[in-house]
Chains A and B, each alone.
Chain A
Amino acid sequence: MNKALAIQIPGLDLKNPIIPASGTFGFGYEFERFYPIDELGSIMLKGTTLEPRFGNPLPRIAEGPSGLLNAIGLQNPGVEAVMNEELEKLRPLFHSKVIANIAGSCLEDYVEVAKRISTHDMVGALEMNISCPNVKAGGIQFGTDPQMAAKLTAAVKEVSQVPVYVKLSPNVTDICAMAKAVEAAGADGITMINTLIGMRFDLRTGKPIIANKTGGWSGPAIYPVALRMIYQVYEAVKIPIIGMGGVSSAEDVIEMMYAGASAVAVGSANLVDPYACKRIIDTLPEVMARYGIQSLEEIIGRSHRV
């Protein structure tokens, strides 16, 4: 193990800071056909709800300049199947702790999913998805009101057996107010940013391309927005941040850690290049050497100190 890459954050002892982001990596095991997924720092599981969900009608995907618009709508087999089937398929392939992404349409749903999945021995932390732009009830409404977000965080914290990270939406007026609210409510960390809400239209018909009309905009196009928000939130809170938003290379990872991220999730890049996370992990040491970085631990928030 390369100690220069290791990072410790609540609930997670990461051998490297690279984590595939929720919704771009299924439940992990499907990527074993591309490379040994045991090389990953952790895995953020596909958003999990109490009951199975099929998600939104098709088309669910569109694209734009350097980015991807999606409205999957939290398709998942429900918490019981995730714990008993999906995680069992992952167990022989991945030996570090995973991050379970939990979602719901009301406070009670989040609490129930958290209560159950946080007891699973493979789960090291929860990521509370209060920022999914693609479901009508719940999701983003919890992510745009600081008081609602705080109430939900406190309720999930009360039942969770593992540290709780809250995933913040960029679709707010003041992301620092959201970050402070969930920190005060007991969150152990923040993951950010979720997708930006976007649209595309069909030139012939004038109709939205995505059946859900709006979708979540991600990919390299949102990277500078993610950096800016992580930079701001790093100054507003003391809890660690797992950064994400358009990361595609080892250089992007280092820049995001300079902004204040303790670890970095890779999302859309996995869909375009299924080897993206492995490529980033493999190239991190040489890119660190190029910039004279001895260990990643020391560069977290570097841009705030120079």
Chain B
Amino acid sequence: MRKYQDWMTVLSNRQIAKDVYEMKLEGEGAGKISAPGQFVNIKIASLESQPYLRRPMSVCEYDDHHLTIIYKVVGKGTQLLTEKKPGDQLDMLLGLGNGFPLPDIKEALLVGGGVGVPPLYELGKQLKARGVKITSVLGFNSQCDVFYETQFKALGEVYVATMDGSYQDQGTAVDVIRKRGLSYDRYFACGPEKMLDALVLFDDKNGYLSFEARMGCGFGACMGCSCKVKTKPYKRICVEGPVLEASEVIVHE
């Protein structure tokens, strides 16, 4: 048995928002995931064919035999992924990266932007199971991009922000946190770089942020995703990340 690689069987693959799909998969490989915020790396085509590199994806939900990913179609690779049917098998590396910690706190604020929302769902479920009060702020560009609002509502209070104001609060996730004066012991975030930078500028002490990067391998070999941090010369987003503490993040210029 291979420690990180396995074949997973597609159970469903459906569109849930504009260009956004939810794929559910089944297989023993799901048991390799040990923390919310860890990611999988998917070989969409055969070894030597296009796309050549794997596609790293966050995990929205998992148990020992199942996992759910949510992905946005942004190019050929993700377009090919939409064509996968129930019963198709996917070569995946599973349980990559550090994942979110589950600290002993009373109140957690989940802050997701676009396809950065998914990993916060599993995290929210696990925190809620430990008795933590969950508040979620989900940011999207527009109403047509919104997904998983209902699922997050099952965890606690949910605020949706859209950049164009077409649904609920207009503005960024940070605008909503400020405007509503949301309280928390720790915040947990995943989303575009601009959103994460804004959060660090807002509070650089009490947060955990999950970053994305273009990766060659996803397991620490190529140094393609190295990122400068305050605590060390660098961290690899794929191994020492994707989750960094707010206090170590260097905000991009």
B-binding residues in A (CB < 8 A): 23-26, 30-31, 33-34, 46, 52, 54-55, 58-68, 70, 72, 75, 77, 219-220, 248, 268-275
Contact = CB atoms under 8 A, between A and B. Distances in A.
Given A26-B221, A54-B233, A64-B52, 20 more contacts: A30-B221, A33-B3, A34-B3, A55-B226, A58-B213, A59-B224, A60-B223, A61-B222, A66-B52, A67-B52, A68-B52, A70-B222, A72-B222, A72-B223, A220-B52, A248-B47, A270-B221, A271-B53, A272-B54, A275-B5
B216 interface: yes
Nearest to A73: B223
A270 B53 CA distance: 11
Contacts of A68: 52-53, 216
A58 B227 contact: yes
A77 B47 CA distance: 32
Nearest to B3: A33
Interface of B: 2-5, 43, 47-54, 93, 213-217, 219-228, 233-234
Contacts of A54: 226, 228, 233-234
B197 to A, nearest CB: 14
Main secondary structure of the interface of B (DSSP, over half): loop
A271 B224 CA distance: 11
> What are the nearest 6 A-B pairs in CB distance?
A271-B217, A61-B224, A220-B48, A59-B214, A61-B214, A75-B223
A60 B224 contact: yes
A25 B219 CA distance: 10
A28 to B, nearest CB: 10
> Which residue among B93, B222, B234 has the maximum number of chain A CB atoms within 10 Å of its CB?
B222
Contacts of B222: 23-24, 61, 70, 72, 271
21 contacts: A24-B217, A25-B221, A30-B219, A55-B223, A60-B225, A60-B226, A61-B214, A61-B222, A61-B224, A66-B49, A66-B52, A68-B216, A72-B224, A75-B223, A75-B234, A77-B233, A219-B52, A270-B221, A271-B222, A272-B53, A274-B219
